Amino acid sequence: MRGFNPSRKVIEDVGGAVELLNDAGHCAAAWSFAELMIGWNKKHAQAAYVPYESGKELVPAYRYFSPALMGEGTDFNRYLAALCAGMVIFDPGSKVMKASTEKSTVKARSQFRMPVRHLADLYQKFGPVEF
């Protein structure tokens, strides 16, 4: 985590990044704070986490459960602090399109994931809401 002070929970270098380092300490992948912050603020300023189960039929079917968990009042420093504390994990992945053709393409679809038990750490206000 280049540019973030985990003990003070503040960004000290706005040009910083979340970096994935190889065994030799060289940066293999990086996500700038600026780019991550845009996505974070857009998606998580007010968020609902709804429990569900999916069916295994030919046509996808979903069933949603109450209560949902509602989070309000986050900021990017909370996310970076959770990442430093090991509450957020990197989940690398790829999206392959037209795999069985000569024009197949691969796009990185890596995500950062967090267990539900740690979600409250990301918000000023967090709790269940019945629907």
CB neighbours of 62 closer than 8 A, spacing ≥ 6?
52, 53, 54, 55
Q: Which domain holds residue 29?
A: 4-129
Q: From the CA atom positions of the chain, what is the Rg in Å?
A: 18
Picking from 128, 108, 131, 107, the residue whose alpha carbon sits closest to that of residue 116 is 128
Q: How many domains does the chain have?
A: 1
Q: 3-class SS at 59?
A: coil
Low-confidence residues of the chain, pLDDT below 70? none
CA distances in angstroms from 84 to 9, 38, 59, listed in the order given: 9, 19, 40
The pLDDT value recorded for residue 91 is 82
- Tell which residue, 67, 20, 10, 45, has the closest CA to residue 122: 45
pLDDT of residue 63: 94
Residues 6+ apart with CB under 8 A from 127: 69, 70, 120
